[in-house]
Amino acid sequence: MKIKLVSYSKDGERIVAIAAKMSRSRKGWDYHEKEMTDDEIETWIRDSITHGYWSVLEHSVYTFSIEGISRVASHQLVRHRIASYTQMSHRFAKPVDKYYKPITPPSIEKRGKEVVDKAYQDAYNYFYQLLEKGVPEEDARYVLPNGVNTNIVVTMNARELYNFFGLRLCSRAQWEIRAIAWKMLDEVKRVHPRLFKYAGPNCIIHENFIRENPITLDDIDNTVFISQRCIEGVTREGIPKCVKNARSILVSEDGVVMGK
């Protein structure tokens, strides 16, 4: 799995802050553009998020190239509709051995490595047999495994990313899309730390809806949650551990971050 932020609104944080401020002002862009300080940017972003003024976050946009994920994961990913996708076509993809790299879930890596290797190899052989019988690629691929690898280019704005992270960073999300989400979060936090400061699984998002002082992922250990339960049913006490558990998908058995 390789996840790369290939394009984004360079001034995204500034733009979100100016837009938010303009909605409360009569002055035009040029004025605010010149006057807006770094401190103000932070404040406008924070206030927009803590007061549910999410629409201003839509003006900052991010494009990722996501490579080497399974079609199990991409099928879940594209269910997020407020986004743009361009996926490698599997209909016309010539079968070239070196590009056949189906994904193996960690649980199978541990418990069924040999089975999966054989299953993936057999499927590929059947695929070839069908091609040889004159079946077109787009049909022959029906015998390829669900785990087959794919590439996809994804564009989402910051608001949609918050929504996506809320659902997919969560421990209830399936491991692969969860790993994708955590990596995407890393990427956007690197370039826009202020804009994604409050991003996290829904337990954190919802906590901040009802809490006086907003918390972040970094505060997980030092926070007593007010929420009785998260939306998925985890109780107040269980939440911090659950979040850490969710995040652990990024780290392999040997402590190495996946996909690096």
Ligand X SMILES: Cc1cc2nc3c(=O)[nH]c(=O)nc-3n(C[C@H](O)[C@H](O)[C@H](O)COP(=O)(O)OP(=O)(O)OC[C@H]3O[C@@H](n4cnc5c(N)ncnc54)[C@H](O)[C@@H]3O)c2cc1C
**Per the residue annotation, which of 14, 71, 168, 194 is the catalytic one?**
168
Encoded amino acid at 184, one letter: M
3-state secondary structure at position 23: coil
- Is 55 flagged in the annotation as binding? yes
Interatomic CA distance for residues 120 and 104, integer angstroms: 10
Active site residue 71: no
Binding site for ligand X (CB under 6 A): 23, 55, 58, 79-82, 84-87, 89, 157, 159-160, 163, 167, 172-173
The owner of tokens 């049913």 is 233
Whose Cβ is closer to ligand X: residue 100's or residue 175's?
175
Q: Which of residues 87-106 bind a second copy (CB under 8 A)?
A: 87-94, 96, 99, 102-105
The two structure tokens encoding residue 169: 């960073």
DSSP state of 213: S
- Is 81 flagged in the annotation as binding? yes
Question: Which among 36-44, 187-195, 220-228, 240-248 is the span making contact with a second copy, rule CB under 8 A?
Answer: 220-228
Q: Which of 40, 42, 67, 219 binds a second copy (CB under 8 A)?
A: 67
- Is 190 flagged in the annotation as binding? no
Q: Which of residues 42-61 bind a second copy (CB under 8 A)?
A: 50-52, 55-56, 58-59, 61
Q: Per DSSP, which regions of 199-247 are E strands?
A: none
Question: Which among 34-42, 192-200, 223-231, 243-251 is the span making contact with a second copy, rule CB under 8 A?
Answer: 223-231
Shortest spacing between CB 61 and a second copy, in angstroms? 5
Interatomic CA distance for residues 80 and 82, integer angstroms: 6
- Is 168 flagged in the annotation as binding? yes
CA–chain centroid gap for 147, Å, is 19
Handedness of CA 110, 113, 119, 125 (dihedral sign): positive
31 CB-contact burial (10 Å; exposed 0-12 / middle 13-18 / buried 19+): middle
The mark string for 71-90 relative to a second copy (x by CB under 8 A, - otherwise) is xx-xx--xx-xxxxxxxxxx
Shortest spacing between CB 128 and ligand X, in angstroms? 23
Q: Please state whether beta strands 61-70 and 2-8 pair in parallel, antiparallel, or not at all (unpaired).
A: antiparallel
Q: Are 87 and 150 in contact (CB under 8 A)?
A: yes
Residues that constitute the known binding site for FAD: 55, 79-81, 87, 157-159, 163
Residues that constitute the known binding site for dUMP: 76-79, 87-91, 141, 168
Residues assigned a catalytic role: 168
